[in-house]
Structure 1
Amino acid sequence: MNKFLSSLSLLVVACATTFSAPAQEVKGDVKAGEKKIAMCIGCHGIKGYQASFPEVHKVPMISGQGAKYIVAALTAYKKGERKHPTMRGIVDNLSDQDMADVAVYYEAHGKVEGAPAPGKAAEGSARVAALLTKGTCVACHGDNFSKPIDPSYPKIAGQHSDYLFVALKSYKAEGQATWGRSNGVMGGIAKQFSNAELRELANYVSVLPGELKTVPQAKFR
């Protein structure tokens, strides 16, 4: 038990080191963000919208996602740590202030005042429980997968299963010029699993109650 707790503590420290937000934090403005989302609506503002690269999958729900995670993800695309060509093309034109404004807008977008927070995640099968333990997923994402231990980590409860699967596989990709994700912690975790096991994890997390949603938005308003 002590050995397990020690390993868990090391993982938490590693997560904090790997996913840490930029040292100079820029404060976002929701109203300003609302004027900067035209490039987001075409994919993230359409329910069921599917991307075709690197394979067909639903684009992630970002309304209700944590602002600091959105900034961290956009920053990773800008630095080339995430290699998706469409997203990289978009963030190349965004300043740090733009990213902060868009992030706080989407964190607040679609939230219902007084809505109860998601509770502890329901237990899955014994096999899924073993996979979660192996990956120590709750160490960073929280035991309900909707309240990560650091706001720069993503909420993942209720996220589309096909997107989660593609994202997890992306951490296993190496040497690809146009897709994949470079992250020491997530790469090390994802590589422990077969793709079939990653799909099982994605399917489990996708049906959990969460705060993420797609709110339909018209590009021209």
Structure 2
Amino acid sequence: MSMRIFGSLLLLTASVLWLSGADPARAGADVEELAETCRSCHGDEASLPSDPSYPILAGQEFYYLYVQLKDFKSGLRKNELMQDIVAGLDRATMKAIAGYWSEKPWPRTTFRMRDGDDVIAEKLVNSGQCVACHLGTFEGNSRVPRLRNQQPGYLEKTMLDYKYRRRGNAPDIAALFTDIPDEEIAALARYLAAF
């Protein structure tokens, strides 16, 4: 385990122990300290993750963020590091963290498509069910995540994880990607990131 991850886990553990038994208002007041753990991977303002397969958190939908934390904790969504981080968090603390990041502004991004990505992506979007949930602007709503201007590496990884059933917290979504070639999923990810 790297020193950075170890330090993040140590900070989170200390924060959770300190907050144990605290009421939700107290958890909310101390969320800034807990957010330091998120920053170690997702960037200073959770707007420029250190790994392109990590999502931007700042400005993401509150309920979606909260459900993802709950799913990591329950094991419905698998990620060893995230599962370790949320293991000691209660609902009030997870809601406070989700609220903290959802209230931040969505960052300005400069992701670009490759030539032809728009043709492939628009075919997929128009023949699929993307806009039914993510809306025409791909900005999401309280239960559906924002895809617009999200990290392309994260979007691609997420769609591939659904396709190959490595992500099980929304099984209905997996069927949407079953017949889409991986390279078209990559084009769709770049399109959404640059939208």
- TM-score interval (norm. to shorter): 0.7 to 0.9
Secondary structure of 2:58's counterpart equals coil
Q: Which amino acid aligns with 1:187?
A: A
Task: Provide, for residues 126-163 of structure 1, a one-character-per-residue CA deviation record: whole Å limited to 9, x for no partner.
Answer: 432211123210111110001x2x41210110011111
Change (3 A) 1:140 1:80: same
Change (3 A) 1:111 1:125: closer
Task: Provide, for residues 90-112 of structure 1, a one-character-per-residue CA deviation record: whole Å limited to 9, x for no partner.
Answer: 11121111110001100112469
2:34 paired residue number: 36
Pick aligned residue for 1:134 from 120, 127, 133: 127
Structure 2: distance between partners of 1:159 and 1:201: 12
Alignment of 1:91-102 (within 5 A): 91-102=86-97
2:72 paired residue number: 77
RMSD between aligned alpha carbons? 2.2
2:167 paired residue number: 181
Q: Which amino acid aligns with 1:131?
A: L
The answer on 1:65 being equivalent to 2:60 is yes
For CA contacts below 8 A with separation 6 or more, give which structure has more relative contact order. Answer: 1
The answer on 1:153 being equivalent to 2:154 is no
Alpha-carbon deviation of 1:189?
A: 0.9
1:49 paired residue number: 50
Pick aligned residue for 1:198 from 182, 185, 192: 185
TM-score by length of 2: 0.73
Kindly, what percent of the aligned residue pairs are identical? 25
Structure 2: distance between partners of 1:139 and 1:70: 20
Structure 1: distance between partners of 2:83 and 2:127: 32
Secondary structure of 2:153's counterpart equals helix
What is the aligned residue count?
158
Runs of 5+ consecutive residues of structure 1 not aligned to the other structure:
1-26, 51-56, 113-123, 175-179, 209-221
TM-score by length of 1: 0.65
1:18 paired residue number: none
Structure 1: distance between partners of 2:75 and 2:164: 14
Q: Is the 8 A contact 1:63 1:110 kept in 2?
A: yes
Q: Which amino acid aligns with 1:87?
A: M
Secondary structure of 1:164's counterpart equals helix
| Greater percentage in helix | 2
Task: Provide, for residues 28-70 of structure 1, a one-character-per-residue CA deviation record: whole Å limited to 9, x for no partner.
Answer: 87534223212211011243511xxxxxx34211001111110
